[in-house]
Each structure stands twice: as structure tokens, then as C-alpha cells.
Structure 1
Amino acid sequence: MQENEPQNAAFYWSTTFVRSLFEEGIEHVVISPGSRSTALTLAFAAHSGFKKHVAIDERSAAFTALGIGKYTGNPAFLVCTSGTAAANYYPAVIEAAQSGIPMIILSADRPPHYRGLGASQTIDQLKLFGNYPVFFHEVGEPDTHQRSLNRLKLAASQAVQQSVQKEGVAHLNFPFTKPFEPDQKYLRQVEFENEKQSRRPSPKYSREDGEIEMGETFWSDLISAERPLIVVGPTNKSDRLQFITPLARALDAPILAEPGSQVPTSRHTIQGFDGFLKNETNREELNADLILRFGAQPVSKGVNEFLDKHSEAMQICFMGPNRWVDGSLSSDKQVTLKGPLKIPEVTGAADKEWMKKWRKIEKDFKTFREQQLHPSAPITDGYVFSKVMENIPKKAFTMLSNSFPVRDMSLFGEFDGKDIYVNRGAAGIDGITSTALGISIASEKPGVLFVGDISFLHDTNGLLMAKKIKHPLVIVLLNNGGGTIFRMLPVHQIMSKYTSYFETPQTAKVAALCRAHNIDHTLVSRPEQIIATFERLIQRNGVHVMECMTGADESMEQRHALWNFDIKKDT
């Protein structure tokens, strides 16, 4: 048998594992080239049942896998060689772990007898990612004994099961000894055999549970509230919060749904809260007596200050079984939901004026905001957001970078939160473009990424994957000359140090970067160009960078005007 020949050992071992993974129903694999991982790479390459994506930068590869997992709710596989290659996955591992996104890492390694001797490209890869993974397994060197093969197949099942059900990262480490390349005749034989392998349409492991029923005492607390409020931070596919709107309807409660919450717009959702809740007078006027919290810790500073201000109100924090979420330490009760909450036939006792009060301040704030948003030279971040958001197709997804974009969406315009994605697990600016590329690859539909200039430059290697994008992906690059998010902080007053060490304006030419990556680039510097440019690009397949030159000072002035909106003075 050809698989018993020494030259084919690594490839046979890898093929056995890859076939086991195929039976688990996972589709996507992101591969970074390398020598030590040759057998794993060829095993995937020889199997037509996987969608293969090649990324030369492992950090970008990992965030691409994160985007795939974020959209599908299922893990993508990552394949890399030994040494620092796997270490470059670390930022995405942290983000996936803290935001509950499944991901599976298959790292090649030098065999144990090379370790600790200063051998080239050899580091300690055992539990490389510390406590972040939900599963780790040292696979061992290739072995044709049936017991070893059975353990290898089980490891494939364990990795998928743990990653899906525990919503996190699984890491399997594969030590290989040369030769890595199989006999080409055997490679062709494996390719032929793989075509006969039966397909599974979806993973056999799931997080599906029945609806969660709560007792009468729980519901009596909720329906007795006169001023109930629902706050929803960023969520992921496993949270299954489709009951939020029915719950708001039953309690007659306003919903503060942040970008990334996946909560659809309804008559209960309130827009503009990231603006008017920054004002202390407004927070005092909207004094809730019950706050129900879902999803991750809110991004909005106004919402977090609201939670702190209303610490006397009953706050109940609902969370998934694998993530404890209460960064503000303001909740009185914590409820673990292993499935959707069942809403019984109940009617809340909310004050009839409560919802009207929220609606009025929302309306007044929108009117005030409309007065602030006007064409100007230079254009402002807010004006770009307001105009682009009005023209995003309903079928498109939206990805928001951290720093200002994730805040500006809820500050400057109307949005339906059903298909908006954010990286708020660790809230870094690394890998934003790559994450958007992963979502685009998995969703196969148009997309829009809002990103600042520093975040964009931080992940330019993600542009190497642009050729994989078959549908429109418009990168709205807000180039305001640096990391202006720091202008929100007291350090902005230390002007002798601020610009060089914090805002860090860059001189890189985005147009030249785009040309180098064969990516379409359009420069927008006038307000009348925004809509026409965006409408043209969102209809064209592929990645397009729409670089909007905005004024940092003017943009901050606009934000401060909205943050200072006072319901008693401005209406």
C-alpha cells in the first residue's frame, strides 16, 4: 500500500485528518505557505470539498478566518508552518476568544527532538496561545497504527465540537519529520478517492437548545417595571436574540441596539442615543427603573455612563454560557441563556409616557443633527457617514472599524442593525480589513467597510487577499490625518507630545498602495462626490477603496456639538 511507504507517511496522516474534518461539515480553510506544513497543505489542496483561501501573512489569514466564522457561525481552519508563523495568529485568537467566534488552528511544528536545541524555525508551540483556546491537542508524529489513526480522527471531531459548542478557538499542533511531499502518483490517487467522500451539509455539532422558560417571579419583576429599557451590545451568531423585539413589545420598552447587535429596526429601537446620552441632563431625564442587558459590553460611552448613573435601577445582564459580560460591574442579576428566551403572554405596566419620552428626544436629536450635518470644505467624518449610510443596499453587510467608525455609525445616521459586524472582543484596530474580507468571502454578497487611516494602514497586507473577492466590497477610508480618537482623552491637552506619540499622522500614499495591490482607488474631497462615487462603486465587483479626505478639527467640532445636545436647551 502506498500509504505505508515512508515518503507518503506525512501526507497519509494529514489526509486521514482532513477527511475527518470534511465529515464534520466545515467548508473554509485559510492556508499560509510554508515548508513544515506541506503535508497538511497538500491534503487540503487534494480535497475539492473545501473552499481554500491562500494568505501569505498569517496575521491577516487569522483575521480572514475570524471574518468567516463571524458571518457563518462555524469555524474556518487555519494552516501554517512552524515557528513565528503561528505566533502571528495571536491577535485574532484573542479577538475570537473574547467575542465568541469559532476558529480552528492547525499549526505544523518541528518534531520534539528538535525543541530546546536552538534549531532553526523552532519555538515552543505547545499551548502557544495560553488559556485562550477552548481546546488544545498535540497531535503527535505520523503513525500508521490503527489506534493512532483513530485518535487522530477523534481529534478532528473534538476540535470542531469544542470550537462550535464552546464558541472559541481550537488549536492542534502537528509535528512533522521529512519527507513532507508524497509520491505524485499517490497524490493523484488520493485526489481521486476524495471525490467519492460523502458530504455533510453542516456541522454535526450545534449550539441549538430549546427556548428558555423563566418562572413567574422573574416575569413579575419585568412586567411591574414602569420605565423598562433594553440595551443590546454587539452579539454573534450563537446569541440568537431574535426574541428581543417581542420582549420589547411585551414590556413596551425602548431598545438601545448598538451597531453589531444584529437587532433589526422596529418601532421600539431608538436611534441617535450615542449622541444624546452623552449629556448628563438627558441621562437624568430618562430615568429607567429596569434595564435588561444583552450582548457584549456596550461600546457607547453615553450608554455606559447611563448604566453607571442608573445603578439604583434593577439591571439584569443576560449572557451566553461561555462568556461572562458585565464590564461595568453594574448588573444586579446575571442570567445565563443557553437558548432563546421564551416570551409568555404577558403585558407590562410601563408608563404610557415612557416610550413617548424616548421617541421625543430621538426626534429632537435627529432634527438637531440634521442642522449640524451640512456640506462643507473640508468634509467631515459625520457627513460621509450620513450620506453613505443612506445609500447602503439592504442586501449588503457593513463592517465597522474600532476607534471612531464603530461610534460614528450610531451618532451620525440611521441604521438597521441586522447585518453589521464589529470586532469588539478585544476592540483592537488590527486585522479590520482582513475581517471584512473574510465576511465578504463567506457571505458572497456586497459589503461596506468603514475604516480610519491608521486602522487601514495597520492591515495593508489584508489587501493581498483582495483578488479573492467576487462581489462588491467598498472600503470607505476616512482619512482625517491620524488617530483622532485620542482627541476624546485628556492627553489631547498635552500638545507638546500629543501629535507625535498619539495621533501619529502618516505620509503613506493610499492611492499608491492600492495601485501596488491592483485595487481600484477613488479620492473624494468634495461633498457632492460622496453619493455618486459610492453608488458607482457598490455596483462593481471586487474591492474598491473610496478615500475620503476629511477635516479632523471640523469632524471633532461636529461630534462635540452632538454630544452636547441638551433636550431642555436645544428644543
Structure 2
Amino acid sequence: MMNQHLTEQVFTLVRELYQYGVHEVVISPGSRSTPVAIACEAHPKMKTYIHPDERSAGFFALGLIKATKKPVAILCTSGTAASNFTPAVSEADLSQLPLVVLTSDRPHELRNMGAPQAIQQVNMFQSFTKFQSDFPLADGEALTIDMIENTIMQASQYFYGPETGVVHFNLPFREPLLPDLSLKHLMYTGKKPLVKYNKQFDVSIVKPILKETNGVIIAGDCQNIDLSEMLTFSTIHNIPIIACPLSGIRHTMHPNVITTGDHLFKVMQDIEPGFIIRVGKAPVSKSTNQWIKKQNVPQILIQSQTLPKYFPKMPDLYLEMSPNDCFRQLSNLEVSTSKQWLNLWQKMNDIAIHEIHLYQLQVNDEGSIYPQLFEQMTNEDVLFFGNSMPIRDADSFFVKYKGLPYCNRGANGIDGVVSTALGMAAHKKVTLFIGDISFYHDMNGLIMSKLDHIDINIVVFNNNGGGIFSYLPQSEEEQYFERLFGTPLDLDFSHTAKLYDFNYVKYNVFDKITLPTSGRNIIEIKTDRNDNVIAHRSLTEKIKAAIEDAAKK
């Protein structure tokens, strides 16, 4: 019996290894490694060597690397077979040789329960590797294939250049282990490997992409990154910039900056550009990321880091450089974006902003509070947002205001938000927007404000629980939702203010709120989770209706 999901996964693995320069593999025979061994042998261009002794096979591969100056893979079955690679792996590490170690493994359900040939193989070479990954089981999930492509792309930076070294992929497989050889075409079809260029790149490689009609720039998370040359490039070539709140350019009021992308992509996922230039890490907006993922047009990703953070979709071209360096070099190229295309985005942006303004005047919920707080900011003020709802509300409502938004969007966790904001407040004027659970999670961090006399405004949106979950499918499970996800804490934060010597004031959603201009202040605002969900979804429907009405005129 043949396993189609396993076939697709293994053939993708071998294809990507070959495309990134692994053209030779030394195979030590075994059962669990069957799918990869057959795939390597069946690949029309992969050179295979069969060596029955894993310890010797590893060193044989090192000889191949020394002779060719190219990466070479070694493959074994599960259990102690993998352990026998250790001497060669340690030698490859110290010699900086690009050895790609493929250890087949038992599936997760057979680990640590006495199954034969099952030892702990995850991270077993961690003292010697530059990169390692425990692959998922073949389950037919499309994201699994994306993960394999991305993982090998990331690991490939250690195949050549000054940072060469050992890469380890642990590959768990369920039976049946035989791949379907009628699908061999999967090993030599698919996307080309991601091409990476640094600041020395030849701008001519970008010309074919920019000649496509009507492109867009997606400015994602670019905290502390100068994007001034991107704004100039956009002005010259009439390119709309869909700006994440963490792009740091919404406050510029630049006419090409589209500040309502999250709303627009919720109601118009079908709009198609000719190309996409992505700058920085992924935007906050889920709807924007969904739109990026579904587009089948050329995409360029610009980030100043060795490992591209490519989510939500692998780009066609990766430029490892600062945005300013990049756009300065691109500014003189011919771009086919029209003034009408830019005007379309500007018109839709204006419609969405108008509906948001009406929402602020007519609705009393968390969303309506944000604009009145934003109106009290200057361009020098730091707006620090907690994860979950605050940063998403920033995306929704920070559309035409002053201030510099920041957030911990590396791991997107709720922990440490208070402490991070206080660290910034030691040097900047900071207003922290945070939910009640996230605030509770890092209340101990408030001690630094007391000990070092650090001024800060902390706006706590207290909806008595995890507001973000009310927007997710879990909310439909009424029997379990409140206890497992809503998690009401029933806390009175006035006691927190007393404990840490903060000023304290409490508001309801329909109150006019004034932020103090100095001091250490906790501003607690009582809101309702269910009302927030209803109001937010109503705003989306109103923006959709307004855009549809405008299209008819």
C-alpha cells in the first residue's frame, strides 16, 4: 500500500534539497528511511551512494564535501543508526563542512513508550548543528508542504559561504512507508528556490516584476526602521502603501499611505495587483495576510536580516537589506503603476475612515474609545499596545492620528508587556493600551515605575476576560467558553494602583476620557466583550456597504 501524503512530503523534501544544492546523498539502508531512500534513488539527477555502516558513511560524506565544496546529505533509519553519525557530525561542525543529516524516526505516538528502534532523536546533535528541525508527520495539510520549503530555504544559508556547517532534519514517518512512484513529477516541479540578494544586488533583476501593471507596497511590522525612501518611491511611481500600524508611517499623513487595510481586505479580498513589494515582517492584520497569501503575482520581500521571516507566503525574491537602501536603488526604474490605481485605493481608504469616524460618534464600545485617546497624542508620543485585542484595535482605529505605535510582535505573547512599555517610558513619553488579563500577567513589572520614578499612562481595557476569544469559533461553545476562554478574573485594579503608588481613575465606555499629561497613572475602562464583538462586526458591514455603494456611482 502506498501513502500519498507521505509521497508528496518526501518528494518535496528531496526536490527542495536538490534545488538548494544538495546533489549527493550517502544512504545507510534501513526500513524507516525507505521513503526518502527511494525518493533519492528515483530522482533523475540525485547521485546516491549506499554505505551499510553509518559511522563510516558520515565520514565518506565529509570526503565528498571536501572534494566538491558542495553540501552532501547522509540518510539513516531510526534508533542507534542515527547515533553512529555523531563522530562525523562533530568533525563536520569543527571543520565547518555543510553536512545535511537526515535521520528517519518513528512517529510521535511511538516515542518514549518502548517501541523498537525509538530513541530521542530530536535535537540529538544540538551541540554541533547550525540549524535543526523536527519535521511534521505527513497529514495532507498544505501548510506542511510550505513548512518544508521554508525550512530548507532557511537551512540553505549554511550550505555555502562563511557560515557553513551541519544541518539536521529529523524525519518521522508512519507506515505504510512506500512512496507512490507515479508521482515522481513532484520531485522536479514546483516553485523555484527563493533567490536572496544583499545590498550589492543588480537592480535589473527587479525590472521584470516592476513592469507588471499596478503594484502595491505592504509595509508590515517595521518598528524602529526608517521608511522615508519608500515614501519617496511611492510618490514618484503612484504606488499605494498598505500600512500596518507598526510600520511607523501612519502618522505621516502621506497621501499614498492606506491606513485601513485591515478593513478593506475584510470586504474586498478579490482585488488583484500586478506585483507586491513587502517591507518588514508580516502585518498585524489577519485579513491582509490572507490576501497576500492568495495572490498569484510576483512578490518581493525586503528585510534586513539573514533569515527571512516570509509569513504569510514565500516571496519570489528576497532582498536582504534596509528598505531605504533598497528603494533608493529602485527609484529610477520604470514602474507601470497608474494614477487611477492609486486613486482607487485612496478613495476606498477615505470611505473606510469616514465610516470609522461615524462609528466613533454613534457607538459606545472599546473601539469608539481609541479615537478619542488618539486625538490627545503628539507625534513624539509612544503608543505601546498589548497583544490580542489592543494591537488589533490599533490596526482598526489608528487611521489618521499622531503618535508612534509599538508592540511586542516577535512571539506575540501577552507576557512582559507592562515591563517592555516601562522600559520605553524610561526614555520616552509612553501610553500603554492593555487588556485586563495581560495587565494582570505582568503586574509585578510595575515595581520599576515606583523604584525609578518612571512616568507612564496605562490604559487598561477591562472586559473581565480574554476579549480576543469572543471573535473566534470557540465562542460558539457556550458550555465551555466562559470558563476555558473567557476566563473572567473579577479584579479591582484600584488596589494595584495603591500597591505601586499609581494615580487611578475609572471610566465606563460612554464617558469622555482625558489622559493625564504627566505622572504614573492607571486609567481603567470597563467594557463589555459581547458588545465589542457586535459593534466591530457591524462596522465591517457598514464599510462593505459604503464601498459597494460608491462602486455603483
TM-score, reference length from structure 1: 0.58
Contact kept in structure 2, 1:471 and 1:540, CA below 8 Å: no
Asked whether the equivalents of residues 212 and 336 of structure 2 are also in contact (C-alpha less than 8 Å), the reply is yes
Determine the structure 2 residue equivalent to 1:335: 319
Cα displacement string for residues 373-407 of structure 1 (whole angstroms, at most 9, x for unaligned residues): 2355xx31101111101111222111111001111
Task: Report whether the alignment pairs 1:289 with 2:274.
Answer: yes
Do the aligned residues in 2 keep the contact of 1:381 with 1:555 (CA within 8 Å)?
A: yes
Query: CA 1:569–1:252 in structure 2 vs 1: closer, same or farther (change >3 Å)?
Result: closer
* 2-structure distance, mates of 1:257, 1:569: 23
By how many angstroms is 1:327 displaced? 1.8
Residue aligned with 2:207, SS: helix
Deviation at 1:496, TM superposition (A): 0.5
Deviation at 1:519, TM superposition (A): 0.8
Q: Which secondary structure state, in structure 2, belongs to the residue aligned with residue 474 of structure 1?
A: strand
The separation in 1 between residues aligned to 2:269 and 2:283, in whole angstroms, is 16
**RMSD (Å) for aligned C-alpha atoms:** 2.5
Counterpart selection for 1:548 from 525, 528, 535: 525
Whether the 8 Å CA contact 2:211–2:334 is kept in 1: the answer is no
Cα gap change, 1:418 to 1:323, in 2 (>3 Å): farther
User: Which amino acid letter does the alignment assign opposite residue 430 of structure 1?
Assistant: D
Which residue number corresponds to residue 271 of structure 1? 259
- Listed one character per residue, the Cα deviations across residues 457-476 of structure 1 (whole Å, up to 9, x for unaligned) are 11100111112565642111
Q: Does 1:438 align with 2:423?
A: yes
Alignment partner, residue 245 of structure 1: 231
User: Any idea what SS the aligned residue of 1:226 has?
Assistant: coil
Contact map agreement 1:403 1:485 (CA 8 A) in 2: yes
1:486 maps to a residue whose letter is: F
**2:224 corresponds to 1:212:** no
- 2:351 and 2:547 in contact (8 A); partners too: no
Residue identity opposite 1:232 in structure 2: A
One-letter amino acid of the counterpart of residue 258, structure 1: C
1:338-381 deviations in whole A, cap 9, x for unaligned?
672223434522122111110111111122222222355xx311
Q: Which residue does the alignment assign to 2:120?
A: none
The correspondence of residues 98-247 of structure 1 with structure 2, limited to 5 A, is 212=199, 214-237=201-224, 239-247=225-233
Map Cα deviations across residues 89-110 of structure 1 (whole Å, 9 max, x no partner): xxxxxxxxxxxxxxxxxxxxxx
The yes-or-no answer on 1:404 pairing with 2:389 is yes
- Report the Cα distance in structure 1 between the residues aligned to 2:338 and 2:452, rounded to whole angstroms: 50
Q: Is the 8 A contact 2:437 2:465 kept in 1?
A: yes
Q: Work out the CA distance in 1 between the residues paired with 2:549 and 2:480.
A: 36
Q: How does 1:143-542 map to 2 (within 5 A)?
A: 212=199, 214-237=201-224, 239-263=225-249, 264-279=252-267, 282-284=268-270, 286-310=271-295, 312-337=296-321, 340-341=325-326, 342-343=328-329, 344-374=331-361, 379-415=364-400, 419-441=404-426, 443=427, 445-468=428-451, 470=453, 472-525=455-508, 527-530=510-513, 533-534=514-515, 537=516, 539-541=517-519
Please give the alpha-carbon distance, in whole angstroms, between the structure 1 residues aligned to 2:281 and 2:452. 30
What's the CA shift for 1:262?
2.3
Alpha-carbon offset, residue 217 of structure 1: 2.1
Alpha carbons of 1:430 and 1:277: their partners in 2 closer, same or farther (altered >3 Å)? same
Aligned partners of 1:245 and 1:559: how far apart in 2? 31
For residues 100-143 of structure 1, the C-alpha deviation after alignment (integer angstroms, 9 at most, x for no partner) is: xxxxxxxxxxxxxxxxxxxxxxxxxxx9xx99xx9xxxxxxxxx
Answer whether contact 2:436 2:463 (CA < 8 A) is retained: yes
TM-aligned CA deviation for residue 568 of structure 1: 4.6
Give, in angstroms, the shift of residue 242 of structure 1. 3.4
Task: Give yes or no for contact 2:275–2:299 (8 Å, CA) kept in 1.
Answer: yes
Contact 2:306 2:320 (C-alpha < 8 Å) held by counterparts: no
The structure 1 segments of at least 4 consecutive aligned residues displaced by more than 3 Å after TM superposition are 211-214, 239-242, 415-418, 468-472, 567-571
- Per-residue CA deviation, residues 271-309 of structure 1 (Å, 9 max, x unaligned), is 122112112xx121x311111111112210110111123
Sort the Cα spacing of 1:217 and 1:422 in 2 relative to 1 into closer, same or farther, 3 A: same
For 2:362 and 2:461, the matched residues in 1 are separated by 16
User: Within 2, Cα distance between the matches of 1:219 and 1:324?
Assistant: 18
Identity percentage of aligned residues = 24
- Residue 347 of structure 2 aligns to a residue in which SS? helix
Pairs aligned (count)? 350
Q: Secondary structure at the match of 1:278?
A: helix
* Contact 1:227 1:288 survives alignment (8 Å): yes
Contact 1:437 1:469 in 2 (8 A): no
Question: Residues of 2 paired with 1:417 and 1:302: CA distance?
Answer: 24
Query: Greater relative contact order: 1 or 2 (C-alpha under 8 angstroms, separation 6 or more)?
Result: 1
Shift, 1:408, TM fit: 0.6
Cα offset for 1:322? Answer: 3.4
Task: Check whether the contact 1:446–1:471 (CA below 8 A) recurs between aligned residues.
Answer: no
Q: Distance in 2 between matches of 1:265 and 1:366?
A: 13
Q: Give, in whole Å, the separation in 1 of the partners of 2:439 and 2:431.
A: 14
TM-score, with normalisation over the residues of structure 2? 0.59
Measured in 2, the distance between the counterparts of 1:459 and 1:261 equals: 26
Q: Which moved more, 1:341-350 or 1:478-487?
A: 341-350
Judging changes above 3 Å, is the alpha-carbon distance between structure 1 residues 469 and 421 closer, same or farther for their aligned structure 2 residues? farther
User: 2:255 and 2:334 mapped to 1: Cα distance?
Assistant: 17
In structure 2, distance between residues paired with 1:301 and 1:562: 17
Which deviates further from its counterpart, 339-348 or 511-520? 339-348
In structure 1, the gaps of 5 or more residues are 1-126, 135-210
Q: For structure 1, which segment, 514-523 or 321-330, has the greater mean C-alpha deviation from structure 2 after superposition?
A: 321-330
Aligned-residue offset at 1:244 = 1.7
Amino acid at match of 2:386: S
2:361 maps to a residue whose letter is H
The structure whose Rg is larger is 2
Q: 2 CA distance for matches of 1:418 and 1:385?
A: 13
Q: Give the deviation of 1:218 after TM superposition.
A: 3.1
SS of corresponding position for 1:235: coil
Q: CA deviation at 1:503?
A: 1.3
State the partner residue of 1:558: 535
Q: How far is the alpha carbon of 1:226 from its aligned partner?
A: 2.1
Compare 549-558 and 344-353 and name the one that shifted more. 344-353
Secondary structure class of the residue paired with 2:348: helix
Distance in 1 separating the partners of 2:451 and 2:400:
28
Partner Cα distance (1:309, 1:452) in 2: 32
